[in-house]
Amino acid sequence: MQHFKVLGSLLVILFLFATSAHAQDYVYTAKNPAFGGSYMNYQWMLSSANAQNKLKSKSQPSYGGAYNRDPAQNFEQNLERRFFSQLSSEIINSYFGEGQEGQQLEEGSYRFGNYEVDVIGGDRGLNIRIEDFRQGSETTITLPYY
């Protein structure tokens, strides 16, 4: 009798496992646009990552607003860019003959802030040497005669 109970229980269990299993296909879809996900998720993922970022750069002081660095340093770099822009205009005008009589670049040495610019006429062309005292670097540009 006890064998029939065990055999009956085994048959019921076997019957339950013997029925066909129904399942659905699972398709993985990435969320991250870098890995094939929708480009619509980009902004949400970026803002979420920035909100969780606990590592903030302490090396750059915050001056607020549109400044990413010291305004005095920004002003100095702007003056340097203007100086080199004006110098390059004078070189081009002098070299290609487009300048007026008063705008011709004279050979010599010019010093501005941390830079010294030497303009020297040579056998092969016009040599321009720019020395940066802050970084200790030197750049030489040769404009050949044509």
The residue extents of the domains of the chain are: 71-144
What's the mean pLDDT in 8-35? 78
Report the pLDDT value the prediction gives residue 138, as an integer from 0 to 100.
92
Whole-Å CA distances, 124 to 7, 93, 128: 106, 19, 12
Note the pTM of the prediction, 2 decimals: 0.43
- At 105, the pLDDT band (50, 70, 90 cuts) reads low
Report the pLDDT value the prediction gives residue 18, as an integer from 0 to 100.
65
Give the rounded percent of residues in the chain with a pLDDT score beyond 70.
Answer: 78
For the range 72-75, what are the long-range contacts, defined as Cβ-Cβ under 8 Å and sequence gap of 24 or more?
A: none
